[in-house]
Amino acid sequence: MQAGIPARLQLGLGPRERVQPALTHGLVDVVPEYLGTALASLEPAAGVAMSDPVAVRRELVRAFARWPVQVLQPAAAQDQDGLVVTGATAARLQLRTISDLGPVAPQMVLGGAPECPRRPSCLPGLRRAYGLEFARFVPLDTEQDRVEALEHGVVDVAVTDTTGGYLAGGGLVLLADDRQLQPAGHIVPVVHADAAARYGARLAGALDAVSARLTTSDLIDLNRQVTVAGHSVLAEARAWLERQGILPAPG
């Protein structure tokens, strides 16, 4: 299936704090969001169980209703923030869960996105849900920066995506979120109403077809191919679409 909708990919627009206003003002047409963190950014005190994707999507629709933005169907695939340490650190300190960091966090340096100190599910949430107080926080822009900081001992713990390609290598340990701080992280397309009106059912159908097939395992493999193996984003995306039968295979 090819929808015949012209598209221009814009990567590196920055954090959600920049991308959401670009969407609501119609500067971009489609954004792949994450259910829980999107809702938390719009409604920090939303009174729903943040781990329930159905309830979270319902509230996200309501929260976006103040702008001309539509929320489509979420994928099974989830991506959340996670805390990662090196295998050596995990073995030395017997770390398996985020709770295990409690006694040692005051001697550890945390690395994460510059927005982490302000995001409810990042540093404030780690303090609230786990009582964690780190010795210091180091802002690091990209996942690669955080992984390299871990490997070189600049930080002891890093906030990374739970589907990051670097996790597939086996040298890093993702600590279990045993108190369920992170909200539902299902990927969901959000679309400006102008684009929805312009392309109608073709646009929603194309995006829903992707959401219906995308899994968390797919995300990890795609991220590994791009961030570790250095393959092209567009080439890997097209290959996945062909494997799913969404685009015809060549030849």
DSSP 70-137: EE-PPPS-B--EEEEEEHHHHHHHT--BSGGGTTTGGG-EEEE-TTGGG-TTSHHHHHHHH----SEE
Query: What predicted TM-score, i.e. pTM, was given to this entire model?
Result: 0.83
| Contact indicator for 3, 207 with CB cutoff of 8 Å | no
Q: What is the per-residue pLDDT across 170-185, written as a single tens digit (0 to 9) for each?
A: 799 999 999 999 999 9
Domain range annotation of the chain? 16-78+183-214, 81-174
Summarize the confidence of residues 217-230 as an average pLDDT: 92
Specify the DSSP class assigned to residue 168. Answer: G
Q: What is the pLDDT of residue 214?
A: 97
Q: Are domains 16-78+183-214 and 81-174 of this chain identical in fold?
A: yes
The chain-wide mean pLDDT, for the chain, equals 93
- Strand order across the 187-192 sheet: 30-34, 187-192, 69-71
Q: What is the pLDDT of residue 2?
A: 64
CATH of range 16-78+183-214; options 3.30.70.20, 3.20.20.60, 3.40.120.10, 3.40.190.10? 3.40.190.10
Q: What is the per-residue pLDDT across 99-130, written as a single tens digit (0 to 9) for each?
A: 999 999 999 999 999 999 998 889 999 999 99
Reply yes or no on whether the pLDDT at 251 is more than 60: yes
| Contact indicator for 83, 159 with CB cutoff of 8 Å | yes
Reply yes or no on whether the pLDDT at 210 is more than 60: yes
Q: What is the per-residue pLDDT across 47-96, written as a single tens digit (0 to 9) for each?
A: 899 989 999 999 999 999 999 999 999 999 999 999 999 999 999 999 99
Q: What is the pLDDT of residue 56?
A: 96
Summarize the confidence of residues 200-214 as an average pLDDT: 96
Q: What is the pLDDT of residue 47?
A: 86
CATH code 3.40.190.120 for 81-174: yes
Q: What is the per-residue pLDDT across 144-178, written as a single tens digit (0 to 9) for each?
A: 899 999 999 999 999 999 998 888 777 999 999 99
The SS3 of residue 190 is strand
Reply yes or no on whether the pLDDT at 1 is more than 80: no
User: What does DSSP say about strands 187-192 and 109-112: parallel, antiparallel, or unpaired?
Assistant: unpaired
